[in-house]
Amino acid sequence: MWTEWIAIAGAGVWAGMINVIVGSGTLVTFPVLLLLGYPPLAANVSNSIGLLGGNLSGTFGYRRELGANPPLLRRLLPASIAGGLTGAVLLLALPAEAFTAIVPALVVLGLIMVVAGPAVQRRAARRHAGELSTNATARRTAAVTAATFAVGIYGGYFGAAQGILLVGMLGILTAESLQSINAMKNLLVTGVNGIAAVVFVVVAWDSIDWIVVALIALGSAAGGVLGARFGRRLSPAALRAIIVAVGTAAVVNMVFFS
């Protein structure tokens, strides 16, 4: 029993660090829970609630970078929460196979967006230089809000690598720095996981293993603090390289070992 608890808490620490820096910690904790014999639904629900601890500590660690664009955050956070609510309801209503089959393709798309983001931002800046800024900003804000809602649905449903998708999408559709994007990603993921946790507590109480929740919450909270301290010191190139490396490993794991 103690060995199992240590393994779960240790996976929570690692997942908390990864979630803050990159955003695919579920791919650490979820397989560990399955390996230890937890049913898939109970593992997914308990894991989602537990990782909220790391989301909160990581968001707090990036609080300084969150001040870069408050108006944008005020639009995106409600979109994330609405998407997370939709995804959580879908998780309880649909078979997991209906959505998780496309997870690897979504992660690959996110990685492509992470790599292409800087070049796309530069081209967009040149293209919109002669346009009315209000029109260009309105279109981009509408697009990023809709995309954030869509990623929120995915995050509420399963959540693996939703951070990678958010970083890639925000890098393409906004002009924010990568560290600012990472801070926004942490807050938006917290919103998704928070509303999903509320749904699971209200609707799927019998599927929650509270010991697992506590172990992952404690571990991921510690990992979130460590991840924020480390991630905020990374250069954009180094952060982008880590995102691509972890995302590629996640795709390989999902395709060949799931």
Collapsed DSSP state (helix, strand, coil) of residue 23:
coil
Amino acid residing at 2 = W
Which pLDDT band holds residue 100 (cuts at 50, 70, 90)? low
- Is pLDDT at 166 greater than 70 in this prediction? yes
pLDDT digits (tens, 9 = 90+) for 129-155: 444 444 556 778 888 999 999 999 988
- Section 175-188 average pLDDT: 86
The predicted structure's pLDDT at residue 132: 43
Classify residue 200 as exposed, middle or buried by CB count within 10 Å of its CB (0-12, 13-18, 19+): buried
- Is pLDDT at 17 greater than 70 in this prediction? yes
Tokens of 53: 């601890």
CA 59, 62, 64, 70 torsion: positive or negative? negative
Contact (CB, 8 A) for 169 and 151:
yes
- Is pLDDT at 219 greater than 80 in this prediction? yes
Only one residue has tokens 């537990």, namely 50
- Is pLDDT at 172 greater than 70 in this prediction? yes
Between CA 88 and CA 41 the distance in angstroms is: 12
Between CA 67 and CA 54 the distance in angstroms is: 20
- Section 171-186 average pLDDT: 84
pTM of the model: 0.80
Which pLDDT band holds residue 125 (cuts at 50, 70, 90)? low
Collapsed DSSP state (helix, strand, coil) of residue 22:
coil
- Is pLDDT at 244 greater than 80 in this prediction? no
- Section 116-120 average pLDDT: 63
Q: At what angle do helices 26-35 and 236-256 cross, to 10 degrees?
A: 30
The predicted structure's pLDDT at residue 218: 95
Contact (CB, 8 A) for 110 and 167:
yes
Contact (CB, 8 A) for 10 and 219:
yes
- Section 47-64 average pLDDT: 90
Which is more confidently placed, 229 or 217?
217
Between CA 237 and CA 156 the distance in angstroms is: 29
The predicted structure's pLDDT at residue 179: 83
- Section 156-169 average pLDDT: 80
- Is pLDDT at 251 greater than 90 in this prediction? no
Which pLDDT band holds residue 117 (cuts at 50, 70, 90)? low
Give residues with Cβ within 8 angstroms of 100, minimum separation 6.
Answer: 158
Which is more confidently placed, 249 or 142?
142
